[in-house]
Amino acid sequence: MFLMFLDTLSELWIWQLLGRMHPLIVHFPIAVLVVAFLLELLTVRGKRSELRAGIRWLVYIGASFSLMAVLVGLMLAYGANYPESTLNLHQWSGIATAIAALLAAWLMYRADSSGQKKDLNIYRGALGVTVLLLTFAGHFGASLTHGSDYITEVLPWNYETLSEGEFGELLAEVAEHREMGMVAEQHLNEVNIGVRRIFAHSCYRCHASDDMEGGLALDNEEAVMAGGDGGPVITPGDPDDSELMRRLLLPAGHEDAMPQRGRALFSDEVELIRMWIELGAHWSDEEVQTFREAEMALSKPEPPQRSTEFENPIDRFVDDYFEEQGIRWPESVDDGLFMRRVYMDVIGLLPEPDELEEFVSDTSPDKRDRLIDSLLNRKHDYTQHSLSFWNDLLRNAYIGTGFITGGRKQITDWLYDALENNKPYNRMVSELVSPDEKSEGFIRGIQWRGDVNASQTTEMQAAQNLSQSFLGVNLKCASCHNSFVSNWSLEEAYSLAAVFSDTLLAIERCDEPTGNFAEPGFLYSELGEVDKELPTDGRLNQLADIVTQNANGRLYRTIANRHWQRLMGKGLVEPVDEMDTKPWNQELLDWLAADLIDHDYDQKYLMYSILRSRTYQLPSVGLNAEQAGVPSDEFVFSGPLRKRLTAEQFTDALTQLAAPVYSSVAYDPFDTQIAEASWIWFDALEDGRNVFAPPGQYYLRHTFELPAENIDEARLLVSVDERFELYLNGEMISEGNDWRQVERIDVSGHLTTGENILAVEAEKGGTTAEPAGVLLNLQITQSDGGWHEVSSNNEWKIINQEPDPAWIVAGFDDNDWQTVRSFGSSLDNKYWGRLVEFTHEASGERLQFVRASLVENDDFQKAMGRPTREIVTTKRDLDPTLLQALELTNGELVNDVLSRGADRWIREYGDNPDEMIRQIYLRSLSRTPTDREARIAGEMLAQVPGKETVQDLLWAIIMKPEFQIIY
């Protein structure tokens, strides 16, 4: 009864008018009560009693107005359309505020009458509570007026959100034309597109073809006209008879009200839908673009010519850009900084001090161009540096998940060759998309044992990786359901995956079969069709042609942008994998991409152009984290960004400055001939299973026969993890404590005719069982042409208790000793890798040192930001962390390298500390130390001379941001 009365009442205009005055009335008590409270605070401890009279009035007024606000608020709430839960919170906190305010007023009155201090404090407490409640009420009220999703609506997937009043102009314009009796086709289209945008933002989550709640989809004409389970939802021409309108107009909280999730539609949105139905619910042929899409076609813009100062087209674009942005060209960096930067960027190494000195003293004007040229031509250095970037981009790894069951394949051989020979980019892509057996690893993906999620089949991985790596398109969302963050649909993602599939590919939505099958095709059908009748090879061939054609501007923009990002620290488009984002300079991007095509897809030429530009040679810019993260459409370019050394750059620099960090490779481009032998150790068993032997002392021996003594040459290689002493026929011939240091010994003087005996006393330290082993190879050439090879293998004997001292000579009975267990070959080993120094080869092209890009990922590399390459990585996480700092401060690897490095520096400059400091600075930072730096380091060396101090100096240098950042 009462409700009916309210219903009637709420129709009255005066009711609504009063209700709408609620926001006006509500601000008054807020201000009044807050001021009263603040003034009250000033009177604490009996001060400023003159305020009392004023406060009294403020409290009374505040209390009565809060009561009014509540009454008027209830009127407003009843007639309108607000989310119920927030409304309740607001309503009750508002009512509570009013009650508290009234109570405070009464308590104040009481305190005034009694004059008791206690009563005064009670009143003050009540006033405080009132203000606190007011805070809550105010907050929920704010949520109401601005939508309960005023936090969530700023989330990225709501980014292109529609704003209130957006359709006001359109509504007015079309209304005007209707009055005149002529609504043009164009208007009908615009109205429809508007309606569809509203549908996309507010309705698709539940009502789209791939998720039809209530049997209703709103993303295509047929479905909209067909309606849902309950029948049609619109009656063209008659909004009042349309279920859709009825639902939109129901009060919030009603169980039929729409949308049920997200904000209620704005009034102009509802009006637009009403108008659309009135006008006959016309459906436009135009596609609705919910998210921005970059243009496909590529034409080469003419570089602007503002002044004659700049020749390089890049600089001319940037000059124009700087002019627009009001940025003045700074001076280029000096030779030292430039040299360190360009070395790191092109070959990933520090310049040698003598190269540096020569370059600085060179006075020819084109010396920088020549340097760039020469670095790009250092084929192996360039390749070994670039390899890391490409391995990240193509998800190529030496170790990782999937290999264990044969579900993954490397492409390293192919990739190294492509980089070394600067293979044209279109051919690279083509060979990856339509591969031979050397390059097929890329599209074969990673196959774990067992069943995988439908969005992670190898075909889908291929589609995702091709899109991300080459086109800057993210298909990951769309491979499970129509994307909420891009225009890609499930069907389109499957269509690309189907190109890679040998069998018919069933479409699954969020792992549930949809009953449909995918038609093979490319994402951008305007570039060409894939013939589904062809076998997989043929389709891949076709796909490769479609992707690499010049008309596919996306492919070339994407790679041009990646190179720009590598060299300049931030792409023209960022994020680099979202190429639909607006670049900060479209023309420059287009020019770079078109220029790449014009120069036969030569990536080195592209790099050469960028490196030669004054833009590249500008001083670097340091940003804060927030600035560094902005997308390109908000970014203002003012120079290359500072880049942190990658794990590989840092490691190689450490090798150059101190000592080799690695000695085993996962991939050896020179295929150095490694001497064959097995890593052997104690065969420990637990429950009948092989386990690593516990740490401790072990004894190994091996007897071999030599027929005659006419020995020309006898060369022995040995490496032991961890500490060892090696005896040949009773004499100690070598010892060591680092398996990475291969000992080479000429043993021709120690061999005898007949029985010879090799004996190794070895020890593994530590507290847990870890891999340990002995690796040995001995090659003997005799003057009669005879050749013998002895190596560590499973004929050797081992024992874990100290034997009789005679064990190192021939004739000792080792029958009760155990046979060793082999832990794999020297050529390719799970634990020690391929130890490149374990070779008898003296000459030939060899690795200068084992570069980090050629080794397996380990804890150190990982701590320094090298990704595991389980997924495509296009930007590394290079933010310093505590774990990383710990690794650098007390990690074994760094300390060991620095300790060996200290030996080297003392060997070279031990008698001249000043020169040592100068050379360390030149070597590590490409500059000489300032006087103060030289003094600080010098005093330290003088105070505590010795190896440890040199080691600590090296440590302090490599921890400097100046060492770890490319300025």
Partner 1 sequence: MSDRMNRRDFLKKTSAATLAAMAASFPASSFLSGCEPGIESSADTVILLWMAGGMAHTETFDPKAYTPFEKGLESNRVLSTFPKIPTAVDDLYFSEGLESIADIIDRGTVIRSYRAADMGHILHSRHQYHWHTCYEPPQTVDVPHIGAWIARERGPINPVIPPFVSIGQRFDVGESEELKAYHTAGFLGSEYGPFLIPDPSSGLDSVRPPVGMSIERFERRHQLYRDLVEQSPVGERSSDYQKESMMRAMERSYALLKSPDAEAFDLSQEPKETYQAYNTGRFGLGCLLAKRLTEAGARFINVTTEYEPFMGWDTHENGHTRAVKMKQMIDRPIAQLIKDLEQSGRLERTLIVLASEFSRDMMVEGRPGQKVQDQVEVPDVMEDISNYGMHRHFTDGCSLLMFGGGIKKGLVYGKTADERPCSTIEKQVGIDEIHQTIYHAMGISPETNYVIEGRPFYTTPDGHGEAIHELFI
List, in sequence order, every residue forming a beta bridge with 731; answer none if it has no partner.
Answer: 728
Residues numbered 643 to 662 that lie near partner 1 (CB under 8 A) are 644
Q: Which is nearer to partner 1, 271 or 933 (CB)?
A: 933
Minimal distance in Å, beta carbon 480 to partner 1? Answer: 9
Minimal distance in Å, beta carbon 550 to partner 1? Answer: 29
Residues numbered 688 to 707 that lie near partner 1 (CB under 8 A) are 688-689, 691
Q: Which is nearer to partner 1, 218 or 863 (CB)?
A: 863
CA 924-928-929 angle, to 5 degrees, is 95
d(CA 542, CA 685): 56
Stretch that binds partner 1, among 30-38, 196-204, 306-314, 725-733 (CB under 8 A): 30-38
Q: Which of 353, 631, 824, 910 binds partner 1 (CB under 8 A)?
A: 631
d(CA 808, CA 758): 7
| 837 scored as a contact of partner 1 (CB under 8 A) | no
**226 φ/ψ angles, rounded to the nearest 5 degrees:** -75, -30
Stretch that binds partner 1, among 94-102, 209-217, 308-316, 932-940 (CB under 8 A): 932-940
Residues numbered 309 to 328 that lie near partner 1 (CB under 8 A) are none
Residues numbered 391 to 410 that lie near partner 1 (CB under 8 A) are 399-401, 403-405
Q: Which of 626, 671, 784, 804 binds partner 1 (CB under 8 A)?
A: 626
Question: How many residues interact with partner 1 (rule CB under 8 A)?
Answer: 127
Q: Which of 17, 44, 71, 151 binds partner 1 (CB under 8 A)?
A: 151
| 964 scored as a contact of partner 1 (CB under 8 A) | yes
Q: Which of 60, 793, 933, 938 binds partner 1 (CB under 8 A)?
A: 933
Q: Which is nearer to partner 1, 633 or 705 (CB)?
A: 633
Residues numbered 154 to 193 that lie near partner 1 (CB under 8 A) are 154-157, 159
Minimal distance in Å, beta carbon 434 to partner 1? Answer: 24
CB atoms within 10 A of CB 571: 29
**Do residues 202 and 244 touch, judged by C-beta distance below 8 A?**
no
Minimal distance in Å, beta carbon 145 to partner 1? Answer: 6
Q: Which is nearer to partner 1, 323 or 915 (CB)?
A: 915
d(CA 654, CA 851): 11
Q: Which is nearer to partner 1, 86 or 396 (CB)?
A: 86
Minimal distance in Å, beta carbon 551 to partner 1? Answer: 27
Q: Which is nearer to partner 1, 241 or 633 (CB)?
A: 633
Q: Which is nearer to partner 1, 578 or 595 (CB)?
A: 578
Q: Which is nearer to partner 1, 38 or 942 (CB)?
A: 38
For residue 926, the number of C-alpha atoms closer than 13 Å in the C-beta half-sphere is 27
**Do residues 53 and 59 touch, judged by C-beta distance below 8 A?**
no
Minimal distance in Å, beta carbon 740 to partner 1? Answer: 16
Residues numbered 864 to 903 that lie near partner 1 (CB under 8 A) are 865, 867-868, 870-871, 877-886, 888-892, 895
Residues 6+ apart with CB under 8 A from 621: 638, 639, 640, 641, 642
3-state secondary structure at position 472 = coil
**Do residues 253 and 84 touch, judged by C-beta distance below 8 A?**
yes
d(CA 848, CA 841): 14
Q: Which is nearer to partner 1, 175 or 404 (CB)?
A: 404
Residues numbered 6 to 25 that lie near partner 1 (CB under 8 A) are 23
**Do residues 295 and 553 touch, judged by C-beta distance below 8 A?**
yes
Contact mark string toward partner 1, 502..541, x via CB under 8 A: ----------------------------------------
- Per 3-state DSSP, the chain is made up of helix, strand and coil in percentages (nearest 5) of 50, 10, 40
Determine the straight-line distance between the first and last CA of the chain, rounded to whole angstroms.
78
| 809 scored as a contact of partner 1 (CB under 8 A) | no
What HEC string does 839-880 produce?
A: CCCCCCCCCCCCCHHHCCCCHHHHHCCCCCCCCCCCCCCCCC
Residues numbered 443 to 482 that lie near partner 1 (CB under 8 A) are 446, 448-453, 455-456, 461, 464, 474, 476-477, 479
Q: Which is nearer to partner 1, 215 or 629 (CB)?
A: 629
**DSSP strands (E only) in 319-447:** none
| DSSP annotation string for 592-612 | HHHHHHHTTT-HHHHHHHHHH
| 38 scored as a contact of partner 1 (CB under 8 A) | yes
Residues numbered 116 to 145 that lie near partner 1 (CB under 8 A) are 134-136, 138-143, 145
CA 102-105-111 angle, to 5 degrees, is 145
Contact mark string toward partner 1, 86..105, x via CB under 8 A: x--x----------------
**Do residues 681 and 698 touch, judged by C-beta distance below 8 A?**
yes
| Residue 687 burial class via C-beta count within 10 angstroms: exposed 0-12, middle 13-18, buried 19 and up | exposed
Residues numbered 566 to 605 that lie near partner 1 (CB under 8 A) are 575, 577-578
Minimal distance in Å, beta carbon 475 to partner 1? Answer: 9
Q: Which is nearer to partner 1, 153 or 683 (CB)?
A: 153
What HEC string does 695-727 produce?
A: CEEEEEEEEEEECCCCEEEEEEEEEEECEEEEE
| 825 scored as a contact of partner 1 (CB under 8 A) | no
How many residues in total does the chain contain? Answer: 967
Q: Which of 299, 364, 503, 624 binds partner 1 (CB under 8 A)?
A: 624
Minimal distance in Å, beta carbon 636 to partner 1? Answer: 15
Q: Which is nearer to partner 1, 577 or 590 (CB)?
A: 577
Q: Which is nearer to partner 1, 727 or 921 (CB)?
A: 921
Q: Which of 768, 801, 815, 843 binds partner 1 (CB under 8 A)?
A: 768
> 920, 385, 947: which is closest to 658 by C-alpha?
920
> 224, 95, 605: which is closest to 377 by C-alpha?
605
Minimal distance in Å, beta carbon 472 to partner 1? Answer: 12
> 228, 229, 246, 242: which is closest to 281 by C-alpha?
242
For tokens 């770079």, name the residue. Answer: 592
| 831 scored as a contact of partner 1 (CB under 8 A) | yes
Tokens of residue 539, six digits: 């389709």
Residues numbered 354 to 393 that lie near partner 1 (CB under 8 A) are none
Helix 603-612 / helix 335-346 crossing angle, nearest 10 deg: 160
| Residue 685 burial class via C-beta count within 10 angstroms: exposed 0-12, middle 13-18, buried 19 and up | exposed
Minimal distance in Å, beta carbon 295 to partner 1? Answer: 21
| 770 scored as a contact of partner 1 (CB under 8 A) | yes
Q: Which is nearer to partner 1, 502 or 626 (CB)?
A: 626
CB atoms within 10 A of CB 944: 10
| 801 scored as a contact of partner 1 (CB under 8 A) | no
| 148 scored as a contact of partner 1 (CB under 8 A) | yes
> 162, 184, 190, 205: which is closest to 286 by C-alpha?
190
| 629 scored as a contact of partner 1 (CB under 8 A) | yes
Residues numbered 701 to 760 that lie near partner 1 (CB under 8 A) are none
Q: Which is nearer to partner 1, 191 or 342 (CB)?
A: 342
d(CA 662, CA 894): 11
Q: Which is nearer to partner 1, 478 or 607 (CB)?
A: 478
Minimal distance in Å, beta carbon 627 to partner 1? Answer: 8
What HEC string does 916-942 produce?
A: HHHHHHHHHHCCCCCHHHHHHHHHHHH
Stretch that binds partner 1, among 346-354, 553-561, 710-718, 946-954 (CB under 8 A): 946-954
